[in-house]
Amino acid sequence: MELRSEINPGVCGYPTAVTAKTDDSRHVEFEFECDCDLIQALAEKVAAIQPVDAIASLSPDENPVLAEARTVLQGAGCCEACIVPQSAVKAMYIITGLALARNVSIKLRDE
């Protein structure tokens, strides 16, 4: 089973595609397609911990994909608000049946 997420992360201008794949509805592997150096670094970090156990990632400990994202983003002096890692986790939960497949969006406006 495979699920592809297409992400427009905003002002950075790096559209990203994340594909989550599973053969057993529990262990997930990811592919990231993006020209952003940070997302490519994240892809390498996530590749090193694959497959990710979706059920185990529900523990009180930090999700392993988000933990890797934190080290990459903080190491580069970036904020942790990048939606790409969260989108990858959402895809993982959908493909394993731990969440429903519904599009998400964020609309920001100054008031």
Residue 46: pLDDT band with limits 50, 70, 90? very high
Residue 105: pLDDT band with limits 50, 70, 90? confident
- According to DSSP, the β-strands at 2-7 and 16-22 are antiparallel
pLDDT in tens, 91-101: 999 999 999 99
Q: Per CATH, the architecture of 2-95 is what?
A: Alpha-Beta Complex (3.90)
Q: Which helix (H) or strand (E) holds 68?
A: helix 64-75
The whole-angstrom separation of Cα 103 and Cα 80 is 22
pTM of the model: 0.92
pLDDT in tens, 4-36: 999 998 888 999 999 999 999 999 999 999 999
The whole-angstrom separation of Cα 13 and Cα 38 is 13
| Strand, helix or coil for residue 102 | coil
The whole-angstrom separation of Cα 63 and Cα 61 is 6
The whole-angstrom separation of Cα 37 and Cα 39 is 6
Contact at 8 Å (CB) between 15 and 5? no
Is residue 79's pLDDT more than 80? no
Tokens standing for residue 49: 């911990």
Residue 15 CB coordination number (10 Å): 14
Domain spans, the chain: 2-95
